[in-house]
Structure 1
Amino acid sequence: MRRLPLLLAALLTLSLLGTPASAAPAPDVPLRVLSFNIHTGIGSDAALDLERTASVIRDSRADVVGLEEVDVHWAARSDFRDQARDLARQLHMRVFFAPIYDLPPLTEGAPRRRYGVAVLSRHPIVATENHPLTRLSTQDPNPVPAPAPGFAEAVVLVRGVPVHVYATHLDYRADPAVRELQVADTLRILAADRPGARQVLLGDFNAGPGAPELAPLWTRLADAWTSAEPGLTYPADVPAKRIDYVTVSPGVRVRNAAVLDTLASDHRPVVADLLVRR
């Protein structure tokens, strides 16, 4: 669904109408976010250890997390576990999983095999949608660019402030053509939110911040990484590229950002402390 439930929208309107004109502005709302490509729980040591993944997220103290490369009953590589629910359970967080692929099981009676992205949140999730992006399927031997799901949107209610949190995974190929289409899709989806919506886009963009195909994103969103340090995230053991991001819309201010040193995945996660304007 695209919009907040009507009751919530009415309550927000009433709260605004009930604020005296002379009252001091309400303080900005703090929010810590994490962007993490978890590589289906497989670390740089090639070991599957979803509990280690959960420990990284827990130690980050993030309120909201965007995850990429999440398996749900997908394959033996992840023991056919529902990684989205397992992480949510271990971390006592809410979860929205947005599959990119949703395939029949390998054996009759087993759950469907799904792979995609997810949003974890300590705050209530009041609306969700799995948006399509233009993709080249990795499951088709002769893929052509076509719309496919797997761009997660979760509206998170942070101390009464709705924040639209997106998790995405852009195309990995050296040719930027599909990423260019995905960036255009992303901007169209972001523009469909109500004017002034607080937006946070988390994800693995598979391109550096100076890549030409990402340039349109920076007309609407700000990169949370402002340090003079390179902030490299991939590969995790000897990082050489910055391809994992926290990005924010106007109305969301970045206090600081850091790359976490961990080998729990082939990517290093990015954590950022934000202030959301009421």
Structure 2
Amino acid sequence: MERSDAVSVHTEEAMVLGRGMRLLAGAMTVACVVLVGPSAPSSALFGRSLPADAVRDVVANRVMTWNLCNPCDESNVDRAAEIATYAPQVIGLQEACARDVRRIRSFLERLYGLVYHVEYGTVLRNWGRCGGAPWSPGAFGQAILSAAPMTDRVNVEYPDGGSEDRGYMAVTTMVGGRPVRVFNTHLAQRRQEAVRADQTGVLAAELARHDRAIVLGDFNAVPDAPELAPIWALATDTDAQCHPSPASSCEPTTDWNSKFDYVFLRGIVPLKHRVQPTPYSDHHLLYTDLDPTQNP
């Protein structure tokens, strides 16, 4: 074989090998995308390390509410890690895309061993909020995750959502070993007080039907706002220092130092609560531990 022919053969072999390596790398990339989802960073394969004081299993008497912030370009791996740190029995999410909730739930199980059921309270389909094809936008609204099965789901859209469709959802599930009705809602945006008043009237009418209930959500209103009066008449805040009075002491739950997020309790006694700021939303995590053995 002439030297030029040998060089040509070696060059062709190198090109074939190079193409093979690129195809292999491409296949592995596709496999990773299928495994962790396109919105997750490469670190999703390993998850995010939890703090040393994080709980390691679901806390049976703990409930949490969290507005995810949307549209916000946040990783569902990070969102799952925030939830896994506190591992509540029940989580109410607002401003939630169904696709993101599915991924959060998957990461909670695969990365942290926390298994949740999920129910959705979709109120609209919105491409700007949740992506998808322009002719088939993603589902947007509320969701509830529970370590125990959920039954009797209802999904109600308020007659007037204000500047954007809003609603509430409710399920029956177990918290602290006892059945309880759990509501999750997101009221109309700020500066729409009259709309929110109508919405709380709708929610309160359903809440009044239950002796034991938990209401989670972003109410877009401070505690002494008049539109929250129907809820205060039926339930108490998990924070014993928080009342519908300007003089009460209510811990802020947002980056702008307002309390908009609530865990309202009806027929249930709280043990302790925590407001935890997070870099992954403009709303803080709010969770509470309940005493299922006592009646108010």
Kept in 1: contact 2:105–2:116 (CA 8 A) = yes
1:53 is paired with a residue of what secondary structure?
helix
Structure 2 counterparts to residues 1-278 of structure 1, below 5 A = 31-40=61-70, 42=72, 47-72=73-98, 82-91=99-108, 92-102=115-125, 106-107=133-134, 112-136=137-161, 138=163, 150-158=167-175, 161-193=178-210, 196=211, 198-227=212-241, 230-235=250-255, 239-250=256-267, 252-277=268-293
Equivalent-residue separation in structure 2 for 1:168 and 1:118 (angstroms):
9
Change (3 A) 1:149 1:178: closer
Letter in 1 for 2:292: V
Shift of 1:273: 0.6
1:39 is paired with a residue of what secondary structure?
coil
Cα-to-partner distance string for 1:118-169 (whole Å, 9 max, x where unaligned): 1011112122111232333546xxxxxxxx6631111113465211111100
Equivalent-residue separation in structure 1 for 2:93 and 2:283 (angstroms):
11
Equivalent-residue separation in structure 2 for 1:131 and 1:115 (angstroms):
14
Equivalent-residue separation in structure 1 for 2:149 and 2:196 (angstroms):
31
Give the paired residue count: 220
Cα-to-partner distance string for 1:221-243 (whole Å, 9 max, x where unaligned): 111112486411112xxx41011
The alignment-based identity, stated in percent, is: 28
Kept in 2: contact 1:127–1:156 (CA 8 A) = no
Match of 1:4 in 2: none
After TM superposition, the structure 1 stretch with the greater mean CA deviation from structure 2, 178-187 or 94-103, is 94-103
Shift of 1:40: 3.7
Equivalent-residue separation in structure 1 for 2:147 and 2:70 (angstroms):
22
Kept in 2: contact 1:128–1:153 (CA 8 A) = yes
- Give the structure with higher Rg (CA): 2
Cα-to-partner distance string for 1:183-208 (whole Å, 9 max, x where unaligned): 10001111244xx3x20000000011
1:201 is paired with a residue of what secondary structure?
strand
Letter in 2 for 1:33: V
Letter in 2 for 1:67: L
List 4+ stretches of structure 1 deviating above 6 A: none
Alignment root-mean-square deviation, CA: 2.4
Alignment gaps of 5+ in structure 2: 1-58, 109-114, 242-247
Structure 1 length-normalised TM: 0.72
Equivalent-residue separation in structure 2 for 1:204 and 1:276 (angstroms):
24
Between structures 1 and 2, the one with greater helix share:
2
Kept in 2: contact 1:66–1:118 (CA 8 A) = yes
Alignment gaps of 5+ in structure 1: 1-28, 73-81, 140-147
Kept in 2: contact 1:134–1:178 (CA 8 A) = no
